[in-house]
Amino acid sequence: MGILIDNHTRLLVQGITGREGSLQAKQMKDFGTNIVGGVTPGKDGQEIHGIPVFDSVKEAMDDTNPNASVIFVPPRFAADAIFESIDGGIELIVAITEGIPVHDMMRVCAYLENSSSQLIGPNCPGITTPGGSKIGIMPNPIHLAGNVGLVSRSGTLTYEIIDLLSGNGIGQSTSVGIGGDQVIGTSFVDILELFESDTKTDVIVLVGEIGGTAEEDSIDFMKQMRKPVIAYIVGVSAPPGKTMGHAGAIVSTGSGTALEKIKAFERAGITIGRSPKDIVLKLTNILKK
Amino acid sequence: MGILIDNHTRLLVQGITGREGSLQAKQMKDFGTNIVGGVTPGKDGQEIHGIPVFDSVKEAMDDTNPNASVIFVPPRFAADAIFESIDGGIELIVAITEGIPVHDMMRVCAYLENSSSQLIGPNCPGITTPGGSKIGIMPNPIHLAGNVGLVSRSGTLTYEIIDLLSGNGIGQSTSVGIGGDQVIGTSFVDILELFESDTKTDVIVLVGEIGGTAEEDSIDFMKQMRKPVIAYIVGVSAPPGKTMGHAGAIVSTGSGTALEKIKAFERAGITIGRSPKDIVLKLTNILKK
Amino acid sequence: MKLYEHQAKGIFSKYHIPVPEGSLITKAGDAMEIAEKLGDVVIKAQVTAGGRGKAGGIATASGPEDAETAAQRILGMSIKGLPVKKVLIEQYRKPQKEMYLGITIDRKARRPIIMASTQGGVDIEEIARSSPEKITRMHIHPLTGVHDYQARMIAYQLDKENSLTIYDVIKKLYRVFDDHDCILAEINPLALTAQGIVALDAKMVIDDNALFRQEFGEEESVSLEYLAKKSGMSYVGLDGNIGCIVNGAGLAMATLDMIKQYGGEPADFMDVRAGANEEQVRTALRIVSSNVNVKAIVVNIFGGLTKCDEVARAIVDVISEIKVPLVVRLAGTNEQEGRKMLEKYGLITVSSTEEAAMEVVKLGDSHR
Amino acid sequence: MKLYEHQAKGIFSKYHIPVPEGSLITKAGDAMEIAEKLGDVVIKAQVTAGGRGKAGGIATASGPEDAETAAQRILGMSIKGLPVKKVLIEQYRKPQKEMYLGITIDRKARRPIIMASTQGGVDIEEIARSSPEKITRMHIHPLTGVHDYQARMIAYQLDKENSLTIYDVIKKLYRVFDDHDCILAEINPLALTAQGIVALDAKMVIDDNALFRQEFGEEESVSLEYLAKKSGMSYVGLDGNIGCIVNGAGLAMATLDMIKQYGGEPADFMDVRAGANEEQVRTALRIVSSNVNVKAIVVNIFGGLTKCDEVARAIVDVISEIKVPLVVRLAGTNEQEGRKMLEKYGLITVSSTEEAAMEVVKLGDSHR
């Protein structure tokens, strides 16, 4: 059934009455996700696509008992929405919102350490288990059920790769976008650990980016994994010292370039995909065995 | 060997060059405590009673590897000294300092939740295991080794009772003062749990005070204990609404009075000592059996 | 330390929590001019004791003359033994709805707790007893402060229609609480009036341990409590005739309990703290003996940090100033030296708290 | 967003971090009067680009005329393509010792980190590479801020004799970092001079995501980067001739990588973000086509939050303004609608990133 989400997932949508929240709630529902409620302060009593709306997470908890939450709240209110979910005891929190201040996220992550919640994101596309459940904004039609676990720091690039895999008949167990910001709740290693012990996953695709050392930090774990990993790192052509898009992708001198990451992976014996097409090629080879 | 401290205790004295710190370090050393170092910023390289002094907990950790710390730092700097010990990874922190702002202590206690440290106090006399080790300021001569565990919110009243017990030939396994402030690191229940599983302790004396509900909060645990507890609550004559001495002893209307506490204990079948003398009497009866 | 209402309201104003327009006066003559400007007014005695309303310390007045008469009356009052020296004159605001909002410390949870109720303006402790479900309680994480969602939830529960303003008041009251080391910051009632939400009363209690970093100017009054606090000790006045000087609150309470058991009545309670020094003991003796109800004094010291010989020296120093009999119990650090010193002066020393209590009750009785 | 040195020093001053006395000028003629008052001065070009010292943007001068000449020269310069419009004239302080102090974010630890070194005044990244042991690093808990003991430990390591002042600077710099949503707050060098400890340089980089709650007045300059940021997008100028408009940074980088693989050179990188709307796509097209180096543009959209038909409509709206050929790749949400709309206008649409990269490289080559 993949990782993180399954048939028992009962989802709460924070920010459900907003443009994105409402649209994506519909998409998730269409995908088969069990959305039990939504939260928008002041909108208690409304219904969106048949989903009851509450003023607060606590009221939603009391009435509908969700165990997961997805955040579509605008950046300046998003950290507070995450605090609300943590305090509510929600187990899995997926923050889609892009543009949350990094100081807010440092506070949230320190707060998480003493809680029972896990945070995916922010600035991420979420989690999809084809044939099962979806939390987030990955387009519905691109997925195909299968045995490849995908974990990525990117958003649209993740769609691109999933689409390509599915188009080539390669299905996914679960696809997870962990988010591209500097400070995020769940790391590559956290997800790799889950895939390693997931019976439905046989191979893993890891999509990394320039900036930081999140990719390198996962090498030690990957070396001891039983399951093969194919890594694809974008930003080979990025000039050092420039911020490429989101805050996560700052190249600090001497570390964080795509080439350094790729070299470190190769030294550790991890298969590198040179392009999305190359990933498909190498996956096909592995899956044939 | 009693609870919390034993022959493996390696003590660090924070604020060792102050009047109290220096005096009490000497007393503890005389008692037999293994004091491995002291900390006073700016006094690195000095020696106090043959104990090396360091600028910071970190430097003391590197050189002398303590596993316990006692705080004699003045109130306005005490919370920071506790933070320093927590960050240093010290397992047991005993804060003697009286007069630490309660807001500081709330921050410290929230910080403790995600750490590996246990805090006793503040505003407490510390811990003594007769024949073993002592952390704190209880007078050396009053103790006698034995099988009574003592836990108290008071300071000098604790000495009084220990003195009386010893004078009547009743020895103690360990005596613990948990501190009289509104916000403290370790509760009655925490200590009762330790006594319950300590092989050297056969009976427990609990000394409570008016104010708060710390005594009542321990009733549920006491009911399921195998070992007998004798409780003594002071403040029967205190008028409601007055602050009697330290901040911990505010009587809120409708809760926190000594009589209510005593009644609650009696309802739960816990033996009440009416006075120190009465404790001795009842203890003697129990110990005879 | 309890702040006066006008001090707390001054702080509220600085934090932009709405309070009624008003002025503090010490002379009834100043009331007219203020009332002329403000229209209908409320005149409130500035004392830190509770129950001033029941005692007649609050009056409404319409018109300047009415205001002056009321101010005159209240400025002549004493409430719980304290003379009223100042009154606050405020514009009268008719409450359409009275709510309760308070922040205090939950010892057990070891964090701040916000309490709120739509049933304000009355004795909140009575409501807490009789209908606890009418009070919303919410714990605050001391390292993050009140989360926005928490303030919003409380605001919705108090008055959804005016929730934006109330949300704002909650956030600001928490800042007041946090910035000023409060043990209590309370608005009762928080009223909805024709002019909007307003804090009709204001109560702040400051942690005495934090006074080194807080500055409030005015103290409650120059009381024995204040003199003790200034010397790092703690004094509580009681109704009996036996003065009690003890080191440590627990031992002090045990001493009081025993005095009662022997049929005596404590006149006060002076905790010189566990580490009292010579100077503090001298001050303690002077303060306790200045209480005219005191007919006998017991000094009960278990030396740990405190040294018994220092205590003895302090007693010897001031013994000539003290007109009532004294029972001294010394135990612990340097006990023998201390007792010897006192015996030279013919002072009674005993060795246990029980004995001390028994002796002092006898002396108190014979001096009635 | 990088602040100018003078902006950062203005903030430092407000927090009482010692900085040299100085003034900001835009006309060389103003230099004389200032230098007369300050004595020996340093004249520093105000640009946010690094390496201004090596580029000649910093000069010392003794005497008013000398100062004017230097100011004149520097105000005429361009540094990394940016004209110098302002210079800061500061009193010269001879450093006896140059230290480094910086606070930034450690992504892996997810907390702020203070870095300090007695080897300041030089390229700290070089020291980090060659002698990492010379840099003290200390993580800060984001919910408590820097503990006193931490500031003291760092101060002792930097200069025990002046540790009180340095302790103070560390505490204040952390407040600057925290209050202003900094990604970096740095003093290099933090100098010991005859007049005491002083921040000779000041660098602050602000989290762009937090600009909604921060106010700094002046922006770096009206650049394409700035125009993009204002519209919630992200633009990076590069050296080639292919303009790239992509939704999502990861996909954008993948696109750039492929363009390079096919032998092309990107002229820029416009991330319209995952949820780009019509208006943003229009702005993106205008910004990218205003770059004179651009010979061909690729638009690569994988619709999720973004709808392909909205993107197509935006392209159609501004197509007449764009003078270079365009390759459009649309996939995901409403892909068919979008492609149909574009085909009506004879625009090339492709279905994969690879294809898009290949096509645009061809077009770029033929338009050189």
Q: Which residues of chain C have pLDDT under 50?
A: none
A100: β partners? none
What is the pLDDT at residue B243? 56
Q: How far apart are CA D24 and CA D87, in angstroms?
A: 6
Q: Who among D207, D234, D250 is closest to A234 (CB)?
A: D250
Tell me, yes or no, if D22 comes closer than 8 A to chain A by beta carbon.
no
What ipTM was predicted for this assembly?
Answer: 0.93
**SS3 label, residue C284:** helix
The reply to whether CATH 3.30.470.20 applies to domain C97-212 is yes
> Contact A54/A83 with Cβ under 8 angstroms?
no
**SS3 label, residue C192:** strand
Tell me, yes or no, if D333 comes closer than 8 A to chain A by beta carbon.
yes
| Paired tokens of C279 | 């100077």
Could you tell me where the DSSP H helices lie in chain D? 5-14, 31-38, 64-75, 124-130, 148-159, 163-179, 224-230, 249-261, 278-289, 308-318, 335-344, 353-366
> Contact D128/D120 with Cβ under 8 angstroms?
no
Between strands C234-237 and C268-271, the pairing is antiparallel
> Contact C61/C89 with Cβ under 8 angstroms?
no
What is the pLDDT at residue C221? 56
- Which residue of B59, B87, B113 is the best one to mutate when testing the D interface, meaning the one whose CB has the most D CBs within 10 A? B87
Element (H, E) at B177: strand B172-177
Q: Which chain B residues have a beta carbon less than 8 Å from that of D144?
A: 83, 107, 111
Average pLDDT, chain B: 93
Catalytic annotation on B246?
yes
CB contact under 8 A, B247 and C275: no
Q: Which chain D residues have a beta carbon less than 8 Å from that of B107?
A: 144
Class of domain D225-366: alpha beta
One DSSP character per residue, C339-354 reads HHHHHHTT-EEESSHH
Q: Who among A154, A157, A212 is closest to D107 (CB)?
A: A212
Radius of gyration (C-alpha) of chain B in whole angstroms:
18
Q: How far apart are CA D237 and CA A244, in angstroms?
A: 10
pLDDT at B204 over 70: yes
| Paired tokens of C126 | 């009575």
CB contact under 8 A, A111 and C153: no
The residue from C68, C98, C186, C225 that is catalytic is C186
Size of interface A-D (CB pairs under 8 A): 184
- C196, C242, C236, C239: which is closest to C94 by C-alpha? C196
Element (H, E) at D41: strand D41-45
Average pLDDT, chain D: 92
Nearest Cα of chain C lies from the Cα of D145 at a distance, in angstroms, of 10
Element (H, E) at A264: helix A258-267
Q: How far apart are CA A252 and CA C40, in angstroms?
A: 68
- B80, B118, B146, B123: which is closest to B283 by C-alpha? B146
Contacts of B286 (CB under 8 A, 6+ apart): B203, B228, B230, B271
What is the pLDDT at residue C203? 94
- CA D223 from centroid of its chain's CA atoms: 12
D111: β partners? D106
> Contact D228/D254 with Cβ under 8 angstroms?
no
Size of interface B-D (CB pairs under 8 A): 26
Nearest Cα of chain D lies from the Cα of B77 at a distance, in angstroms, of 9
pLDDT at D249 over 50: yes
Between strands B172-177 and B126-128, the pairing is antiparallel
The residue from C4, C100, C174, C235 that is catalytic is C100
Q: Give CA angle at C252 (C274, B163), nearest 5°.
A: 70
Instruction: Say which DSSP state D267 is in.
Output: S
Q: How many CA atoms lie within 13 A of C243 on its CB side?
A: 27
What is the pLDDT at residue C368? 53
User: Domains, chain B, ranges and CATH?
Assistant: 11-120 (3.40.50.720), 126-288 (3.40.50.261)
User: Which CA distances in Å does D225 have to A72, A100, A155, A160, D324?
Assistant: 27, 20, 22, 27, 21
- CA torsion angle C249 C253 C254 C256 (round to 10): 140
pLDDT class for B249, splitting at 50, 70, 90? very low
Tell me, yes or no, if C35 comes closer than 8 A to chain B by beta carbon.
no
Q: How far apart are CA B228 and CA B127, in angstroms?
A: 21
Between strands C41-45 and C58-61, the pairing is antiparallel
Element (H, E) at C332: strand C326-332
> Contact A189/A224 with Cβ under 8 angstroms?
no
CB contact under 8 A, C304 and B252: no
Find the closest chain D residue to A105 by CA distance: D110
- Average pLDDT, stretch B12-32? 96
Size of interface A-B (CB pairs under 8 A): 3
User: Which CA distances in Å does C347 have to B140, C258, C319?
Assistant: 28, 21, 10
CATH superfamily of the domain spanning D21-91: ATP-grasp fold, A domain (3.30.1490.20)
CB contact under 8 A, C144 and D143: yes
Tens digit of pLDDT for each residue in D262-289?
Answer: 999 999 989 998 778 899 999 999 999 9
Per-residue pLDDT of chain A (289 residues; tens, 9 = 90+): 689 999 899 999 999 999 999 999 999 999 999 999 999 999 999 999 999 999 999 999 999 999 999 999 999 999 999 999 999 999 999 999 999 999 999 999 999 998 999 999 999 999 999 999 999 999 999 999 999 999 999 999 999 999 999 999 999 999 999 999 999 999 999 999 999 999 999 999 999 998 888 899 999 999 999 999 999 999 888 876 555 554 444 434 346 788 889 999 999 999 999 999 999 999 999 998 7
Residues 290-329 (D) with a CB less than 8 A from some CB of A: 301-305
> Contact C162/C197 with Cβ under 8 angstroms?
yes
| Higher per-residue confidence, A241 vs D53 | D53
- C220, C228, C230, C222: which is closest to C249 by C-alpha? C228
What is the pLDDT at residue A243? 57
CB contact under 8 A, D147 and B81: no
| Paired tokens of C335 | 């006990």
Q: Who among B55, B81, B107 is closest to D144 (CB)?
A: B107
**SS3 label, residue D83:** strand
CB contact under 8 A, A83 and C149: yes
Nearest Cα of chain D lies from the Cα of B79 at a distance, in angstroms, of 10
**SS3 label, residue C277:** coil
Q: Who among A56, A107, A111 is closest to C149 (CB)?
A: A56
pLDDT class for B246, splitting at 50, 70, 90? very low
Q: Which chain C residues have a beta carbon less than 8 Å from that of B15?
A: none
| Paired tokens of B3 | 């609870």
Q: How far apart are CA B202 and CA B171, in angstroms?
A: 11
Nearest Cα of chain C lies from the Cα of A61 at a distance, in angstroms, of 14
Find the closest chain B residue to C232 by CA distance: B99
Q: How far apart are CA D201 and CA D101, in angstroms?
A: 11
Instruction: Write phi, then psi, for B93 (nearest 5 degrees).
Output: -120, 125
Instruction: Write phi, then psi, for B237 (nearest 5 degrees).
Output: -90, 5
The residue from A49, A103, A143, A246 that is catalytic is A246
Q: What is the 3-state secondary structure (H, E, C) of C152-190?
A: HHHHHHHHHHHHHHHHHHHHHHHHHHHHCCEEEEEEEEE
Instruction: Say which DSSP state C93 is in.
Output: -
Q: Where in chain C is the domain with CATH 3.30.470.20?
A: 97-212
Instruction: Say which DSSP state D208 is in.
Output: G
- CA B191 from centroid of its chain's CA atoms: 9
Instruction: Write phi, then psi, for C189 (nearest 5 degrees).
Output: -90, 150
> Contact C347/C322 with Cβ under 8 angstroms?
no
Neighbours of chain C (3+ CB pairs under 8 A): A, B, D
Q: How far apart are CA D268 and CA D258, in angstroms?
A: 14
What is the pLDDT at residue A251? 39
Q: How far apart are CA C302 and CA C319, in angstroms?
A: 20
- Which residue of B77, B168, B237 is the best one to mutate when testing the C interface, meaning the one whose CB has the most C CBs within 10 A? B237
Q: How far apart are CA D265 and CA B15, in angstroms?
A: 65
Q: Which chain B residues have a beta carbon less than 8 Å from that of A114?
A: 113-114
Q: Where in chain D is the domain with CATH 3.40.50.261?
A: 225-366
One DSSP character per residue, A119-159 reads EE-SS--EEE-TTS-EEE---GGG--EEEEEEEES-SHHHH
**SS3 label, residue D283:** helix
Find the closest chain A residue to D212 by CA distance: A76
Q: How far apart are CA A28 and CA C254, in angstroms?
A: 67
Q: How far apart are CA D296 and CA D298, in angstroms?
A: 7
